Amino acid sequence: MKLVFAGTPEVAVPALDALIASDRHEVAAVVTRPDAPAGRGRRLVASPVAQRAADAGIEVLKPVRPRDEEFLARLREIAPDCCPVVAYGALLPKVALDVPARGWVNLHFSLLPAWRGAAPVQHSILAGDEMTGASTFQIEEGLDSGPVYGVITEPVRPTDTSGDLLTRLAFAGAGLLAATMDGIEDGTLHAVPQPADGVTLAPKITVEDAHVDWAAPALRVDRVVRGCTPAPGAWTVFRGERLKLVQVGLLPDRTDLGPGELDAGKNHVHVGTGSHAVELVWVQPQGKKPMRAADWARGVRIAHGESVGAPVVG
């Protein structure tokens, strides 16, 4: 088939690579979000998908909105058979969905109908799921509600961050998307409607969602830290400033610390929660790079009885 691939972030690149490598399909063009400011200088930078496509000599389309007439006209000129999608980042209007003869097929990082929305991997970790996966489905106007072509499963490991899990799903899902394109092309694969039961939603994780509540059980604190790493980054407050929490460990045998209460030794920093304590392993103070929590504690000289989680000053 002639394909137009739509995707934007790094997580979409493995799927694009798999389709470029296929000897059964031609990636005629790529659709991605417009260049965005990045880095300290806030210079405009092309998306990872745009950079990979350019390196491969593939035409790159960067519409501000997918309903822009100039973009739609070019899409019609290319006349793709199918448009595979991975984390494109914009809603596709019906006028665009109608262009390819075999529609738009999305690779979504959950076992649909679970976790429909922008942040399925983060919500899977926050919910304590032991198993997740990826699905390919036909895009329709509803939110991730179209019929499903195929799925793969992936266990959620006890120490997985959303970054860890998303990386594994991106590579495993790339194979699923390529196989889905093969099955659509040769007529052996047919989409099956999603069940009405089991629908859960996964809206974008906000900075406030990543604010750790020390009165919550330790297991919840651990899930928030893992689910919000690397973005937007779990955080708390120490001496009126934000402190990002990069990694914590569970301490089920320590129950003598109140919620947010700190205990810093030569080689450890423990914090109380609503159940048992957790150990701060890696933290990132405001304006600094990530560091070992014990090194941070020695630098700030934590006093007996100090705590984290007080309101931000100002």
Pairing state between β 2-7 and 26-31: parallel
CA angle 186–187–189, rounded 5-degree value: 110
Helix %, strand %, coil % of the chain (to 5)? 25, 30, 45
Pairing state between β 83-86 and 2-7: parallel
Query: Structure tokens of 298?
Result: 């020695």
b or e along 19-48 (b: 16 or more beta carbons within 10 Å of the residue's beta carbon)?
bbebeebebbbbbbbeeeeeeeeeeeebbb
Instruction: Check the annotation: does 311 bind a ligand.
Output: no
Give residue 68's identity as a one-letter amino acid code.
Answer: D
Instruction: Check the annotation: does 110 bind a ligand.
Output: yes
For residue 12, the 8-state DSSP code is G
What is the rounded CA–CA span in Å between residue 60 and residue 51? 9
Instruction: Check the annotation: does 112 bind a ligand.
Output: yes
Instruction: Check the annotation: does 113 bind a ligand.
Output: yes
What is the rounded CA–CA span in Å between residue 52 and residue 55? 5
* 3-class secondary structure, 184: helix
CB 31 within 8 A of CB 50: no
CA distances from 294 to 83, 265, 267, 270, 280 (A): 50, 8, 5, 10, 8
Nearest to 223 by CA among 251, 198, 250, 204: 250
Annotated binding site for (6S)-5,6,7,8-tetrahydrofolate: 110-113
Annotated binding site: 110-113
